Amino acid sequence: MVEIKKDLLIIGAGPAGLGAALYSKRADLDFEIVDKQMPGGQIMNTEFIENYLGFGQRSGFELIEKFSDHCKGLGAEVKTFCPIALVELVKRGKENFFRCNIAESADHYMVRTIIVASGAYPKMLGLEGEQRLFGRGVSYCATCDGPLYRDKDVAVVGGGDTAVEEALFLAKFAKKVYIIHRRDKLRAVSILQERAFDLENVEIVWNSVLEKIVGEKKVDHILIKNVDDNKIKKIDIQGLFEYVGFGANSALVKGIVKLDANGFIITDKYMRTSCRGIYAAGDVRSTALRQVVTAVADGAVAATSIDKHLRGLI
C-alpha cells in the first residue's frame, strides 16, 4: 500500500479541473490532478464551441487539447485511469485531512485540500427500453452519433440550449428531426430557436412528453403523449437523443459537504464548500451558468483560494 501525500488533489480533468491545475502550478502548490479518463469531460461531446473568448469557433476536442497542452507545458500532467472511489474525512489535530482511496487499489492519497471538479452527467428518463436500446438508437450525444443517422428520421427530447444545439447538428445529417418539448415555448436562447425555426427538416412537437421507446434490436418508433389532451401519437424514428437535464457527479463527497436539492455542491464565492478544505468547481457546483468559461474561472478561483488557505491568509 502506498500513501501519496499532497497539499491538493484535483478530481476531474475537464475545463474546471484544468483551470485549477494551471493556477495551482502558478502558485507552486504540491498537487496532482486525476481523472478516470482522458482530459475533457462533457466538452468532448460538443461539436462546436463559439463562445469561449478569443478562440472563435472550435470543436470541443480542439479546445480541450489546447487547455491540456497548456497545462502540460507548465508541468501539470493529468493522471488518467486513476478514479477516486471514496473520500474520507480524517481529523489530525485541529486540521482536516482527506483520505482519497484509489479504485481497485490499496493505494490512496492523503491530502490537505481537494478541488472536486468531477462535472455532471446527462439524466435518463427511466422509460422502458431506454437502457436496453442505448447505443442501438438511444443516444445522449449527437456529436458522437449524429453521422450514423444520415437520411434517417430522429427525435430530440428537450427544449433547452443543449437540446436545440444538438437538433441543429443532427439536421445536417438526418432527413427529419423532431424536437419533443413538454411546453409551448422553448427554453433555448433566441438565436438557437431562430435557427431551428428556419430549418425545413426540423419539426417541433409542442406540449408533448415521451411515453415509450419501441423496438427489439434497435429503435423502431416512439410513443408521445400530448399533455393537454392526453392523446398518444406514434412517430417512426431510427434515433432518439435525450437532453432532459444533468445530474451532479457529487457522490464522492455526499455526506461530507452540503448539496442542493438536485445534488450539486453548494459553495461560496471562494469555491469553498461546507467542509473546510474541500472546494468545488465547474458543472458539479450549484451555479446559475454551466459553460466552459465559467468552469475555467471556477477552477482558477478555487486554486487561488486554496493557495491563500494553505498560507493562512483566508
> Which residues are designated catalytic?
141, 144-145
- Phi/psi-derived region of residue 271, left when phi > 0, alpha when psi is between -120 and 50, beta in every other case: left
Helix (H, G, I), strand (E, B) or coil at 11: strand
| Distance in angstroms (rounded) separating the CA atoms of residues 118 and 246 | 13
| Distance in angstroms (rounded) separating the CA atoms of residues 190 and 181 | 16
Closest by CA to 59, choosing from 40, 73, 76, is 40
| Distance in angstroms (rounded) separating the CA atoms of residues 304 and 189 | 33
Please list the alpha-helical segments (H only) found in 121-265. Answer: 142-145, 161-170, 190-198
β-pairing, 239-242 vs 138-139, is parallel
Contacts of 8 (CB under 8 A, 6+ apart): 24, 29, 30, 31, 32, 111, 112, 113, 114, 115, 303, 306, 310
